[in-house]
Amino acid sequence: MDILICILIGLAIGFLMGYSSRPSVFSFQNDGETRLSREIRAHFIGPDYHLMNHITLQLQDGTTQVDHILVSCFGIFVIETKNYNGWIFANSKQANWTQVLFNRKSQFQNPIFQNFRHVRAVQELLDFLPADCVKSVVVFTGDAEFKTEVPPGVVSLPEFVDYIREQSTAVMSQNRMQFCVGRLETARLAITNETDVEHIENLRRRHGGSV
């Protein structure tokens, strides 16, 4: 009996150690993504909302990685998060935007264009929905200040909650919403370091060696 108890205790400890060593989705998020996730969970709960984080999807030409997908009865919100500070100079039609921080200029990819690929991947998976049910949202979570007109679909973290609440027209039932969640969960790749490394390699191949 004592041996059996020792075995059971050993198995329990092993299970708990294995469980605690599993990667949490938060360990794969930067500070801005984590802040947005917590904001969403604080304001948008079931049964009308379901949040997914760090979603890697397979496309014909590689993978695409989505920061957040908020599945709701009011639409599928595909969210690109930018944790930037400083001044931002943006144009919705330009390939690159400019950040000015401490008198230093740097360019980054237009996040609206970046999110197009994410939106397309979700639309292809949820092809039974009208395309306009899948909506692009870009959220700046840092202290960035736009020095140009803010493009449509781009909001700051404090503006995000009101922006989602404004989407108040139901476009699907809760059953259909849960079906969308199931389709996305089935299609997403595992949240692992290996998945992230493979995704980065796909980006390098697609962009000629640079990410």
Q: What is the pLDDT of residue 65?
A: 94
- Kindly tell me the burial class for residue 203, based on how many C-beta atoms sit within 10 Å of its own C-beta (0-12, 13-18, 19 or more): middle
- Which position has the token pair 């803010």? 150
Is the model more confident about 30 or about 166?
Answer: 166
In the predicted model, what is the mean pLDDT of residues 5-28?
Answer: 42
Q: Does the residue 1 lie in any domain?
A: no
Structural domain boundaries, residue 103:
25-206
- Report CA-CA distances (Å) from 42 to 36, 64, 105, 158: 10, 27, 35, 13
Of 169, 170, 141, the C-alpha closest to 154 is 141
Dump pLDDT digits (tens) for 159-184.
Answer: 999 999 999 999 999 999 999 999 99
Contact residues for 179 (Cβ-Cβ < 8 A; gap 6+): none
pLDDT bucket at 4, cuts 50 / 70 / 90: very low
Q: Does the residue 14 lie in any domain?
A: no
Q: Which long-range contacts (CB under 8 A, 24 or more apart) does 109-112 make?
A: 111/80, 111/82, 111/138, 111/154, 112/136, 112/138, 112/151, 112/153, 112/154
Q: What is the pLDDT of residue 208?
A: 55
Contact residues for 194 (Cβ-Cβ < 8 A; gap 6+): none
Q: How many domains, in total, are found in the chain?
A: 1
Is the model more confident about 61 or about 189?
Answer: 189
Q: What angle do CA 88, 206, 65 make, to 5 degrees?
A: 65
In the predicted model, what is the mean pLDDT of residues 11-20?
Answer: 37
Q: Determine the residue type at 125.
A: L
Q: What is the pLDDT of residue 25?
A: 53
CB 69 within 8 A of CB 126: no
Q: Does the residue 4 lie in any domain?
A: no
Q: Which two tokens stand for residue 76?
A: 């599928």
pLDDT bucket at 30, cuts 50 / 70 / 90: confident
Q: Does the residue 175 lie in any domain?
A: yes
Q: Does the residue 12 lie in any domain?
A: no
pLDDT over 70 for what percent of the chain?
77
Dump pLDDT digits (tens) for 90-135.
Answer: 999 999 999 999 989 999 999 999 999 999 999 999 999 999 999 9
pLDDT over 90 for what percent of the chain?
71
For the chain, what is the largest distance between any 2 Cα atoms, rounded to a whole number of angstroms? 74
Using DSSP, state whether 165 is helix, strand or coil: helix
pLDDT > 90? residue 191: no
Q: Does the residue 20 lie in any domain?
A: no
Q: Does the residue 61 lie in any domain?
A: yes
Of 97, 94, 77, the C-alpha closest to 86 is 97
- What does DSSP say about strands 134-140 and 154-156: parallel, antiparallel, or unpaired? parallel
